[in-house]
């Protein structure tokens, strides 16, 4: 398996720290405002990476975080006249809801910054004692020039950074390059006690503290958005490696590309965001995932409604195929998956998680599976491979619940003169009734069944293998 390591900027053979185990930390959001389409892309990209690693037999420990104390959260709270904790609580709930609906598997560890203040203080203290940080005016700063490796991730050198760096009013840096590890709190801001007085953590320190606490120094993979390479991840490396007097903090750095809108990066500060929950209100979660996965994770992807429509159509093609197998009453799970298909999938994914290539493999398999079914041949091995692949990508069709239609279905059953029962049983009975009517060329009854079910949003499809239904 080869992955593109931002540290070194090259494809490298992936070798876990401990055989058979992978430790994976991904930078989660700062919960300052509602999630947008870009956040979803990141979450899905690493969800698939995690699922794929597991599928290959590796035991993955996946940790991500919620940064729930930070300048922008405080600013948002002050604008609204509520506490920072309230903004963080509400926004966190939105992110977790969006992730859940996107079928992002919950992490093994979900770390909140505000629950790791002691670890951060401990890390900062160690940096001070080792001469890499200094308190000043109630703040604590990291002394960038004390860490020779600074810039190795983002390809910058310290002397060229000076021109852009500056000291904001109220800061007490010795060097414009330095960054805050701890900030003295102003009245009304969140505050914790510390050896340097009441204050709150800087933005970069929480990931260093939380990742190391859960996964240990020198863990396997650290992920995040490409826009975090500098300064956030560069600073994480500096903090952790300076404190440990060891390297590397992280073996492999993976960064996902940005989502753009009309060619520009979607971001809060530009104001060109499309809400993730809004998108999920109008598109099926699996279609959104497919939209994301059509490009390899490092490439930028353009958001446009038409592209979601395309993804919806592509998803229908996948699910239609799988429904044919359901109608044919086969049991793919019991079959041996088609080895060539799985091998092709694996080689695409082993090439830096090339989901675009992997989807090509999947669609090829679907065409072949459909062809076999048309010919009346055995498509079960293809279907079994399809099931594995769509499970790894989490774009398989979820079981449809008809529970909310129970009353309506009973009413139809009564009108059509059959007995009621569970919603699924009624639908099955109606399909049987219609099949008998069709055999007797009583198309009026057959069409009535189709129409009645269509009114509830249930579509019937007739195929050589039988009739299937789906909603919507």
Q: Which of residues 198-237 bind RNA (CB under 7 A)?
A: 203, 224-232
Instruction: Give 133's strand partners.
Output: 142
- Residue from the set 164, 187, 271, 472 that interacts with RNA by CB under 7 A: 164
Applying CB under 7 A, among 295, 389, 431, 433 the residue interacting with RNA is: 295
* Among positions 63, 373, 379, 426, the unique one binding RNA when judged by CB under 7 A: 373
Q: Are 73 and 83 in contact (CB under 8 A)?
A: no
Min separation Cβ 261 and RNA, Å: 9
* Phi then psi dihedrals of residue 458, to 5 deg: -100, 125
Q: Please report the sign of the dihedral spanned by the C-alpha atoms of residue 334, residue 340, residue 341, residue 345.
A: positive
Identify residues 343-372 at the interface with RNA (CB under 7 A).
Answer: 348, 351, 354, 356-357, 359-360, 363-364, 366-367, 370-371
| Rounded alpha-carbon distances, angstroms, from residue 328 to 108, 258, 363, 468, 472 | 38, 42, 20, 9, 21
Identify the CA nearest to 30 among candidates 118, 139, 124, 113: 113
CB nearer RNA, residue 59 or residue 167: 167
Contact 358, 388 (CB under 8 A): no
Residues 91-150 that bind RNA (CB under 7 A): none
438 lies in the site for RNA, by CB under 7 A: yes
Q: x/- binding map, residues 399-418, to RNA, per CB under 7 A?
A: --------------------
Could you tell me which stretch among 29-37, 105-113, 132-140, 193-201 binds RNA (CB under 7 A)?
Answer: 29-37
Cα(95)–Cα(73) distance, integer angstroms: 14
CB nearer to RNA: pick between 309 and 419 = 309
**Strand-strand pairing, 133-136 and 139-142:** antiparallel
Q: Which is nearer to RNA, 96 or 406 (CB)?
A: 96
Q: Choose between 149 and 360: whose C-beta lies nearer to RNA.
A: 360
154, 194, 283, 380: residue in contact with RNA (rule CB under 7 A): 154
Q: Which span sits near RNA by CB under 7 A: 34-42, 105-113, 208-216, 414-422? A: 34-42
Which position among 72, 172, 213, 471 is part of the footprint of RNA (CB under 7 A)? Answer: 72
Rounded Cα distance between 159 and 163, Å, is 8
């Amino acid at each position: 398996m080869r992955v593109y390591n931002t540290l070194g900027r090259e494809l490298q053979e992936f070798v876990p720290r401990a055989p058979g185990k992978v430790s994976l930390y991904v930078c989660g959001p700062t919960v300052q405002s509602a999630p947008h389409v870009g956040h979803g892309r990141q979450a899905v990209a690493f969800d698939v990476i995690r699922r794929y690693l597991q599928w290959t037999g590796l035991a993955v420990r996946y940790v991500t975080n919620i940064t729930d104390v930070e300048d922008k959260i405080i600013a948002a709270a002050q604008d609204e006249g509520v506490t920072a904790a309230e903004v963080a609580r509400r926004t966190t709930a939105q992110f977790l809801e969006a992730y859940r609906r996107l079928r992002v598997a919950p992490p093994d560890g979900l770390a909140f910054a505000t629950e790791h203040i002691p670890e951060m203080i401990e890390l900062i203290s160690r940096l001070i004692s080792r001469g890499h940080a200094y308190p000043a005016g109630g703040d604590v700063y990291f002394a960038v020039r004390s860490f020779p490796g600074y810039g190795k991730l983002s390809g910058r050198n310290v002397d060229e950074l000076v021109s852009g760096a500056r000291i904001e009013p109220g800061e007490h840096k010795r060097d414009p390059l330095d960054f805050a590890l701890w900030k003295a709190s102003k009245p009304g801001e969140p505050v914790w006690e510390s050896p340097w007085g009441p204050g709150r953590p800087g933005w970069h320190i929480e990931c260093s503290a939380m990742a190391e606490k859960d996964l240990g120094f020198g863990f396997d993979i650290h992920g995040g958005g490409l826009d975090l390479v500098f300064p956030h991840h560069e600073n994480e490396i500096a903090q952790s490696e300076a404190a440990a007097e060891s390297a590397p903090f992280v073996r492999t750095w993976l960064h996902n590309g940005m989502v753009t809108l009309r060619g520009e990066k979607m971001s809060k500060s530009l104001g060109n965001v499309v809400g993730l929950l809004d998108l999920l209100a109008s598109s099926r979660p699996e279609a959104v995932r497919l939209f994301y996965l059509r490009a390899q994770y490092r490439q930028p992807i353009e958001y446009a409604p038409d592209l979601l429509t395309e993804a919806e159509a592509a998803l229908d093609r996948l699910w239609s195929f799988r429904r044919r197998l359901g109608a044919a009453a086969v049991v793919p799970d019991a079959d041996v998956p088609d080895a060539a298909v799985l091998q092709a999938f694996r080689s695409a994914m082993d090439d830096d998680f090339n989901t675009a290539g992997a989807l090509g493999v999947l669609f090829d398999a679907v065409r072949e599976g459909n062809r076999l079914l048309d010919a009346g041949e055995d498509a079960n091995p293809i279907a079994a491979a399809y099931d594995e692949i769509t499970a790894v990508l989490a774009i398989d069709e979820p079981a449809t619940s008809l529970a909310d239609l129970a009353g309506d279905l009973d009413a139809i059953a009564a009108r059509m003169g059959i007995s009621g029962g569970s919603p699924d049983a009624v639908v099955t009975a109606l399909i049987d009734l219609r099949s008998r009517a069709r055999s007797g060329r009583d198309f009026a009854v057959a069409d009535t069944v189709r129409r009645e079910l269509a009114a509830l949003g249930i579509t019937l499809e007739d195929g050589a293998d039988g009739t299937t239904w789906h909603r919507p």
